[in-house]
Structure 1
Amino acid sequence: MAWIAALSYYPVKGCAGTSVDDATLTPAGLAHDRSFMVTDADGVFRSQRRHPQLALIRPEISSDGGRLTLRGLGLDLLTIDVDTIGARRDVELFGVPYKGIDQGDEAAGWLSEFLGAPTRLMRVPPEHNRVTDGRTPGTSGYADSCAVHVLSRSTLDLLNERLAERGSAPLPMDRFRPNIVIEGWDEPHVEDRARHITMGEAELGYAKPAIRCVATVVDQKVGAKAGPEPLRTLADYRRAAEGGVAFGTKFAVLRPGELSVGDQVIVGSWGEPEL
């Protein structure tokens, strides 16, 4: 039997996540996941690829989504009332245009000081109707692509075995920033073959492999790049046909509902890995 071992959402794209025992899965992913995005002054998103110190910002969002608190080493914490009705501004994510609601000068000043560059904080508008790609279409907030990133413990265990063979230290799960961690699958990369998953009250449909970028080399505890791993080792055995390396799987939400750590994970249909 497989089960949910961990649930995490990331209120501000690129910043630290929040681990919970219970979560609501919405059509756009776990509630509050990537509902905010840090951008430059022109609305282009910032990420750990160029700003690894984003990992050290610890956002906290109230359960109703009405208040956001930012914590970061060396700065006083900042709490703002979330604006969901303000003027829409143009934002850009991987070259694709969307809209965002600017969260004001106080949040912008705090983030600009922390990152050392002019920065704004944007929220997904309520009418955001993004359609994500992959085998099963869906929607998401400001996630890189699909709504839910699933990774199994056995998949990480295999990577760490291969890292040990190179004399490298094991990596923690937070290096990959999954939303749902699954235990109980003895074989690694089972998530690549799962096409329909039921867990708790919710259902997920397979979208595509998760292609990994340089952000995976960022140590989430220190907010700095820590060398070539895991990309160097993943390149040995997880190269994707379209380029890059795959680790974990993206899913779209077929049926929203409540999830809890410990919920059984049931795979209703299987397919061949798309690598």
Structure 2
Amino acid sequence: MATVIELTYYPVKGCAGTPTSAATLTPAGLAHDRSFMVVSEQGVFRTQRRDPRLAVIRPSISADGERLSLHAPETEVLDLHVDTSGERRPVDLFGTAYLGIDQGNAAAEWLSHVLGRKSRLVRVPPEHHRITSGRTPGTAGYADSSALLVVSRSTLDLLNRRLTARGAGLLPMNRFRPNIVIDGWDEPHTEDRAHHVRIGETELGYAKLAIRCAVTMVEQETGRKAGPEPLRTLATYRRATRGGVAFGTRFAVLRPGVVMVGDAVHVTSWGETEL
């Protein structure tokens, strides 16, 4: 039987993830996932594509979402009271305009020091209304696309076999920054065909394949770019018909609830892969 073996949410977009054994799944994904975003002074989101040192920033957020701490090597911890009612400011995510609540000058100074570029921290406003695209529409905070990214263990195992055959090293799952990792599917990329999924009391609907970018070439422990893998190898067998290379699958949330490591994964509707 397929089961959930990892759950990870990413409180600050682009920064390190927080593993957990149980999480509340909201319509926008795992609770607190991508609810904050680092932006330039002009409001444009920062990404590991251009700022790989985001990876070394480890956020931790209280269960009620009222306190956020930021940790980075050789830097004093920043502890913030989260502002959910302040003035909204325009932010830009992949060219689409949204709003964010600025979290103040202390956060801006801390991030600017760590990243070496003038930066500010914003939070998704409570009234944030975003419709995500894909076969199953949904919503999300500041995630790149849909609410959830799902990858199976066998999918990574296949990639690692191909990498080692080319003389490259093995890659950990965190290179791909999934929210949910599933084991028990013997066939790699089974998640591509799972169109309706039930996990515990929650239900997920297939949205789209996850097209991968240069973030997968960043070592998440060090914030160092280490390309050209895995994109070079993925390009040999995972080219998507609409361009790019696909690895993992994005899902929208059909029914919220609690999801836990160890939960069984039931696919109630299968479809053809879009690759």
TM-score bracket relative to the smaller structure:
over 0.9
- In structure 2, the partner of 1:129 is 129
Task: Tell me the CA shift for residue 74 of structure 1.
Answer: 1.7
- In structure 2, the partner of 1:181 is 181
Amino acid of the structure 2 residue aligned with 1:228: P
- In structure 1, the partner of 2:227 is 227
Cα deviation digits, residues 128-169 of structure 1 (max 9, x gap): 010000000000000001000000000000000000100111
Structure 1 runs, 4 residues or longer, greater than 4 Å off: none
- In structure 2, the partner of 1:170 is 170
1:60 has 2:60 as partner: yes
CA–CA separation in structure 1 for the residues paired with 2:268 and 2:142 = 29
Amino acid of the structure 2 residue aligned with 1:60: S
CA–CA separation in structure 1 for the residues paired with 2:102 and 2:245 = 34
- In structure 2, the partner of 1:84 is 84
CA–CA separation in structure 2 for the residues paired with 1:227 and 1:42 = 29
Amino acid of the structure 2 residue aligned with 1:67: R
Amino acid of the structure 2 residue aligned with 1:21: S
CA–CA separation in structure 2 for the residues paired with 1:41 and 1:7 = 33
- In structure 2, the partner of 1:244 is 244
Amino acid of the structure 1 residue aligned with 2:110: W
CA–CA separation in structure 2 for the residues paired with 1:120 and 1:201 = 37
CA–CA separation in structure 1 for the residues paired with 2:39 and 2:227 = 26
CA–CA separation in structure 2 for the residues paired with 1:101 and 1:74 = 28
- In structure 2, the partner of 1:146 is 146
Cα deviation digits, residues 4-40 of structure 1 (max 9, x gap): 0000000000000000000000000000000000000
Amino acid of the structure 1 residue aligned with 2:186: D
CA–CA separation in structure 1 for the residues paired with 2:135 and 2:19 = 28
- In structure 2, the partner of 1:102 is 102
CA–CA separation in structure 2 for the residues paired with 1:241 and 1:94 = 21
After superposition, residues 203-222 of structure 1 pair within 5 angstroms as 203-222=203-222
- In structure 2, the partner of 1:71 is 71
Please report the TM-score for the alignment, with normalisation by the length of structure 2. 1.00
Task: Tell me the CA shift for residue 201 of structure 1.
Answer: 1.0
The SS at the match of 1:237 is coil
Amino acid of the structure 1 residue aligned with 2:197: I
After superposition, residues 4-43 of structure 1 pair within 5 angstroms as 4-43=4-43
CA–CA separation in structure 2 for the residues paired with 1:53 and 1:47 = 9
Cα deviation digits, residues 160-182 of structure 1 (max 9, x gap): 00001001111000000000000
1:118 has 2:118 as partner: yes
The SS at the match of 2:42 is coil
CA–CA separation in structure 2 for the residues paired with 1:165 and 1:199 = 35
Amino acid of the structure 2 residue aligned with 1:226: A
- In structure 1, the partner of 2:201 is 201
Task: Tell me the CA shift for residue 75 of structure 1.
Answer: 1.0
Task: Tell me the CA shift for residue 242 of structure 1.
Answer: 1.1
CA–CA separation in structure 1 for the residues paired with 2:7 and 2:162 = 26
Unaligned ranges ≥5, structure 1: none
Amino acid of the structure 1 residue aligned with 2:89: R
CA–CA separation in structure 2 for the residues paired with 1:102 and 1:198 = 37
Task: Tell me the CA shift for residue 227 of structure 1.
Answer: 1.9
Amino acid of the structure 1 residue aligned with 2:209: P
Cα deviation digits, residues 65-85 of structure 1 (max 9, x gap): 000000001210000000000
Amino acid of the structure 1 residue aligned with 2:122: M
After superposition, residues 249-268 of structure 1 pair within 5 angstroms as 249-268=249-268
Q: How large is the RMSD of aligned CA atoms in angstroms?
A: 0.4
* Overall identity of the aligned pairs, in %: 68
